[in-house]
Amino acid sequence: MTPELTRPVRLQQIGAKGLSYSVVATDAECRDLSIRLKIPAVLALRCEFHLRPTNGASVEANGRLLARVVQSCVVSLDEFEQEVVEGFEIRFVPDGAVSDDFDPELPDDVPYNGDVIDLGEAAAEQLALALDPYPRKSDAGGGGFEAGRAVPFDLLTKLRKQP
């Protein structure tokens, strides 16, 4: 399966001093990403990477993700635009060298094959991680749970107490 957003970079391009690289998604790539991420729309996506070689075959990367997406509110189901701004650190490692040990203090390992890393796929993964899993429109209210309003369990309790 071909990724929706691909920007292959050969390890030789990085060089000893590192490499800065920008990924900017096209309209078609944004449309395809929204389908993959199961959100109404990805309106814009830009991801800045600074790559640094390490000892061995790994490449460290830090960067910044900037995106504009449309999500559905978990309370009202209304669609709304949301800005996504996220800094990140990742480490590209040869396929098969990904560590099974989870350490939240270390950057995530992203496997690559051969001598090419895909910064487009890395940008798509960073967007997926940065999205709010429970998006809520600012004016959505509490969905019936505001102070002073009855909530479903209170209503059930009252019904159960009636003769």
98 has a pLDDT exceeding 80: no
- Find the DSSP H helices in 15-161: 27-37, 119-130, 152-161
- Find the DSSP H helices in the chain: 11-14, 27-37, 119-130, 152-161
Domain-by-domain residue ranges, the chain?
Answer: 8-161
47 has a pLDDT exceeding 70: yes
pLDDT number for residue 3: 79
pLDDT number for residue 55: 79
Structure tokens at 107: 């950057």
100 has a pLDDT exceeding 90: no
Question: What are the Cα distances from residue 46, in Å, to 40, 66, 147?
Answer: 18, 5, 41
Residue where the block lists tokens 């949301």: 82
Quote the DSSP letter at residue 107. Answer: P
| 3-state SS class at 46 | strand
- pLDDT band per the 50, 70, 90 thresholds, residue 103: confident
Closest CA to 62 of 86, 97, 29: 86
User: What gap in Å lies between CA 35 and CA 107, rounded to an integer?
Assistant: 27
Quote the DSSP letter at residue 113. Answer: B
- pLDDT band per the 50, 70, 90 thresholds, residue 147: very low
Higher-scoring residue by pLDDT: 101, 78: 78
Say if residues 48 and 89 touch (Cβ distance below 8 Å).
Answer: no
